[in-house]
Amino acid sequence: MKKHLLILILLFIAFITLITLCGCSVLDELEDSPPESITVDAALPAVPPVDVPTEAAPAPAPVIYSAKVPEVEPEPVRPVPVAVLSTHTPSLGQAFGFTLVGITPGAAYELIDTHFSEPIVPFVVEDRAIALVPVTTTVALGVHNLAVVEILDGERTELFSLEYDVQAVTFTRQDLTATGAMSALMTNENIIHDRTKREAARSETSPVPLWEGLFVQPLEGRISTQFGQVRYTNGVYSSRHDAYDIAMPTGTPVVAAAAGRVVLAEELYISGKAVIIDHGLWLFTYYYHLSEIDVAEGDMVQAGDLIGKVGSTGYSTGPHLHYAASIKSENINPDYFMQSSLFD
């Protein structure tokens, strides 16, 4: 009986061992088997092929960060300046007005002519540059060229040149007899004193015209010496008289020829009691040998305002007004300013 039981136990163990080995093998087979494949149903509609472009797609627009890109200033449109002269045929001793329109903002200008001792610098007034050009009694007759130079950022450019044709004037001779007292006044010391005062008075000018329209006659009367007369004193050449002498009795009122600012009002040795008025743009008028001065330095006057009275003070042979005009120190004929307004 025990023998049968032992056999049964052995058989059972053998059976269990066999079962265990077979199970591992099945699991191993299951773990190593490929996943179940998906069967495509042949009845599904065919997918159309994707159209692949043969050319490269356009690149996307680059992103611009404007704060980092420097701004390019557009090239400014330069105006073309145009010059106007009040006359192209000035006479000896006259002056003419120069106007340049269409000026470049920030630019300065110069006018150059061979007979100028220094360039004339026009004044920029609003949208234009203006200047007075003297034609003194000593310039050459005939055609002159006035070069217009623009200076911008230190660079000089000659824009163009303008022709003007200087006309002849016949200046007559005047013989003067000077007394001993008059001759005694004409010392170097007195000449230098008067000249220094005159130069100081006209060392500055208004950069805008202080006058408008035509000048008036400061004194009506007999012209005793014409502008530009060649003067001989006691038979010896003394000077050219770049002024008008108007003879009238002592005390006759003298008026300002045009609006301006009084820049000298005092007694000088040779010019006597004198008034000088700045009209702007380096244009000055002079009133000499007065018996009385009725304005003070710094006064603003209008055309026709009383400035003094006729006299015979200083180097003078009798009561008269010595009436002169200059652009800077270049004497010119004041009559021209009664005929031409110079600027529009």
Sites of contact with Zn ion (CB under 5 A)? 243, 245, 322
Q: How far is the CB of 204 from Zn ion (least distance, A)?
A: 25
Q: How far is the CB of 309 from Zn ion (least distance, A)?
A: 17
DSSP state of 167: B
**Distance between CA atoms of 342 and 209, rounded to whole angstroms?**
11
Q: How far is the CB of 337 from Zn ion (least distance, A)?
A: 18
Q: How far is the CB of 274 from Zn ion (least distance, A)?
A: 12
**Distance between CA atoms of 61 and 63, rounded to whole angstroms?**
6
User: Do 195 and 164 form a contact (C-beta atoms < 8 A)?
Assistant: no
Q: Which residue is at the shortest CB distance from Zn ion?
A: 322
Which residues, 6 or more positions from 10, have their beta carbon under 8 angstroms from its beta carbon?
none
Of 87 and 317, the one with the shorter C-beta distance to Zn ion is 317
Q: How far is the CB of 228 from Zn ion (least distance, A)?
A: 12
**Distance between CA atoms of 277 and 287, rounded to whole angstroms?**
9
Residue 5, phi-psi category: left (phi > 0), alpha (psi -120 to 50), beta (remainder): alpha
Residue positions counted in the chain: 344
Name residue, tokens 């042949």: 42
Q: How far is the CB of 328 from Zn ion (least distance, A)?
A: 20
Of 110 and 245, the one with the shorter C-beta distance to Zn ion is 245
**Distance between CA atoms of 239 and 102, rounded to whole angstroms?**
43
**Distance between CA atoms of 123 and 161, rounded to whole angstroms?**
18
* Per-position DSSP letters for 81-142, written without gaps between them: -EEEES-SSPBTT-EEEEEEESPPTT-EEEEE-TT-SS-B--EEETTEEEEEEE--TTSPSE
Give the Å distances, CA to CA, from 109 to 75, 124, 153, 310.
Answer: 22, 9, 12, 41
Of 87 and 226, the one with the shorter C-beta distance to Zn ion is 226
Which residues, 6 or more positions from 40, have their beta carbon under 8 angstroms from its beta carbon?
none
Task: Reduce the DSSP state of residue 275 to 3 states and report it.
Answer: strand
Residue type, 191: I
Of 144 and 322, the one with the shorter C-beta distance to Zn ion is 322
Pairing of strands 236-241, 260-267: unpaired
Of 209 and 228, the one with the shorter C-beta distance to Zn ion is 228
Of 315 and 337, the one with the shorter C-beta distance to Zn ion is 315
Of 167 and 226, the one with the shorter C-beta distance to Zn ion is 226
Q: How far is the CB of 281 from Zn ion (least distance, A)?
A: 24
Q: How far is the CB of 178 from Zn ion (least distance, A)?
A: 13
Q: How far is the CB of 79 from Zn ion (least distance, A)?
A: 46
Of 150 and 245, the one with the shorter C-beta distance to Zn ion is 245
Of 206 and 231, the one with the shorter C-beta distance to Zn ion is 231
